Amino acid sequence: MPGDGRVARGDATRRLVLRRAVDVASVDGLEGLSLGRLAAELELSKSGVFALFGSKEELQLATIDAAWEIFASAVTTPARAAAPGLPRLRAVCEKWLDYSEQRVFPGGCFFFNVGAEFDARRGRVHDAVAAASGSFAEFIREAAVEAVALGHIGADAEVLAFELHALGRAANADAVLHGGGRPYALARRAIRARLDGAAVR
């Protein structure tokens, strides 16, 4: 069909814009996004980019969705491939630290950064950020609960998950602010010690 080429080009342009948008937002925040800025940086028509998203809020929401897909492919999808229980809990922590340290997004963990930007706000963008961040926290909690249920760990699963999440977030924040890999090395040692200490012998 004659329109198929235009649809394919539109989809390709949308992917290109969103790939740039997630990188920009990881550094400058979702408020740092604008249709005009992205069009200029990618040498695209501003009207063409506007036609893809329609508003800044829609661009922000689409950027969150795109960032989640990238995050999931780097962290939760490979962690799910690990055996249930303690192996999966170790895997999700390692994958998350790898993702942040390797700067999959140039500003570090995308959701840590935009979460700090929108935590006290209300609206659709806040809700989308909260849903994505909450989904990952729930993934860690479920892995911890499963590890306890399988007899791999003897600990309060809720508290353990909270601690593991906090250690990863602290490593990301310190490394982005101060640079270097020391925060990640410390987080890995702390997480391993916590999991080793909680493991059922």
Is 1.10.10.60 the CATH number for 2-56? Answer: yes
Residue type, 123: G
Q: What is the distance between the alpha carbons of residues 140 and 18, in angstroms, rounded to a whole number? A: 27
Protein fold of 65-198: Tetracycline Repressor; domain 2 (1.10.357)
Dmax (CA) of the chain = 66
Can you give the pTM of this predicted structure? 0.90
Could you tell me the residue ranges of all domains in the chain? Answer: 2-56, 65-198
pLDDT digits (tens, 9 = 90+) for 107-120: 999 999 999 999 99
pLDDT digits (tens, 9 = 90+) for 22-72: 999 999 999 999 998 999 999 888 888 888 898 999 999 999 999 999 999
Question: Among residues 74, 136, 72, which one has the least CA distance to residue 104?
Answer: 74
